[in-house]
Amino acid sequence: MFITFLPEGHRCRIRRNETILETARRNGVAIDSSCHGTRCCGRCRVRVAADEREEKLPAGEPLLRPADNRERMALSPAERNDGWHLACLSIPRHSIFVTVPSPARPLLIPTADGERLPGFDCNHAGSEEIPPFVIRKFGASYWDAYQYAPLMSAAASLIADSNGDPVCKLPFCVTIEAGAFGAEIVFPEAGHLPLPGGYRFHSVQELVDLPDIDFSKGRIAEVLRAIRLLHAVGRPCVLKVEAPFTVLSMLMDSMVLFRGLRKERNLIETAMAKIRRNLVRYIGLAFEAGAEMISYADPSGVVEFVGPKIFREVSGRETVRLLKEVAGLSPGGIVHVCGKTSTSLEYMHLCTSETYELTGKHNFAEALLSVYDRHKVSITGHNCILVTAVPIPHQKVSFLHFPDDPDTG
């Protein structure tokens, strides 16, 4: 079977059980995805049609395996009827044409004042997989670099050096926190990211059994150990952390989650508060281990995905609470909030920002390190920490400030 990606016309062979997004990435076809293929942002929309050059299909023959609730949440019935699907969830059953939307003008997102303003233009649509040359360099198993501290730290150093990046970034996927809470994480074949498998919770009532994270074992312990190894040899390090709402969206079906927000919000909020407390502890341990920066993102909880009401009352509010608690940690460092998340926060009046411009030409990592202070936590946003190696003139650093609001305090 083959996928022909339009409008470029790239024809790519499909591997067994491979999603459209995985086929695209393996063949260098760019499809927008802010969650790096972990099935939680809803941005990888493509239009699918039969390729009858390969085989004649009976009328009504499904082109893809059945979609799950996440696709039904992200796409309207009209979009689905018109052939639109999420590339990260779509596994072809036959040869198909896949139309990839061209880059559009910045998405307009709602604000607290009822306006719609351009959202943060996220250009980091690439994946976070460990490059094959890193694996060849160490002669190790592909998955060892996702699971064991010595290889994690060595791989992070080699990737940073090859990109001319002054900071090392860990981990290489976004499933660490969900896995530490008990989510099943699937390790597919080499060349693909670890992904959430079956859900840990199947009803809102089951969330009362949500455990605390044991930071002494598993991949989360190895990530912290890798930070210590990097710190010991003087390599600045960024720890990537997912927000409470995104973590919860990997632990349970999105339909169950949103239904629970309508009918049993107290149970959802109690679970998110527990996730938040554990994430604050994780960030504190990372600073203690020597991390200079935290990269914080909420791909499943941004306002354009969940809507203004859920963002202001649930996902955005939990982020503000978490960041306020992190601000009191010692030792400290930089917490950089993903530009999509920080823009949502400011548009919904959950934070304000203050921007400083640096003289000369700097990359973003250098700009952040210039304001680094181990004795306090500085919270920044409105930029992308994943492109820290690109130098530009008059680089800006935006500090975020949070009002003393009892709803988020």
Check whether 36 has a pLDDT greater than 70: no
**Is the confidence at residue 396, as pLDDT, over 50?**
yes
Mean pLDDT to the nearest integer, 324-343: 93
Q: Tens of pLDDT along 399-408? A: 999 988 646 5
- pLDDT at residue 6 greater than cutoff 80: yes
Peptide bond into 171 cis (omega under 30): yes
The burial of 56, by beta-carbon neighbours within 10 Å (0-12 exposed, 13-18 middle, 19 or more buried), is given as exposed
pLDDT tens figures, 168-186: 999 988 899 999 999 988 7
Kindly state the average pLDDT of the residues 286-298.
96
- Convert the pLDDT of each residue in 128-146 to its tens digit: 667 777 778 887 777 788 8
71 versus 250: the higher-pLDDT residue is 250
Instruction: Sort 299 into a burial class: Cβ within 10 Å, 0-12 / 13-18 / 19+.
Output: buried
Q: Is the pLDDT of residue 122 over 70?
A: no
The predicted pLDDT at position 386 comes to 76
Return the pLDDT at 408: 56
Going by pLDDT thresholds of 50, 70 and 90, the confidence category of residue 325 is very high
> Does residue 217 surpass a pLDDT of 90?
yes
Mean pLDDT of 107-121: 75
Q: Mean pLDDT over all residues of the chain?
A: 86
Across 31-35, 250-254, 313-317, least confident range = 31-35
pTM of the predicted model, to two decimals? 0.83
C-alpha to C-alpha distance for 195 and 175, rounded to whole angstroms: 7
Q: Which residues are 363's β-sheet partners?
A: 391
Pair 120, 109: CB distance under 8 Å: no
Q: Answer yes or no: is pLDDT of 219 > 70.
A: yes
pLDDT digits (tens, 9 = 90+) for 233-252: 999 999 999 999 999 999 99
The position carrying tokens 């390190």 is: 369
What distance in Å separates the CA atoms of residue 335 and residue 84, rounded to the nearest whole number? 36
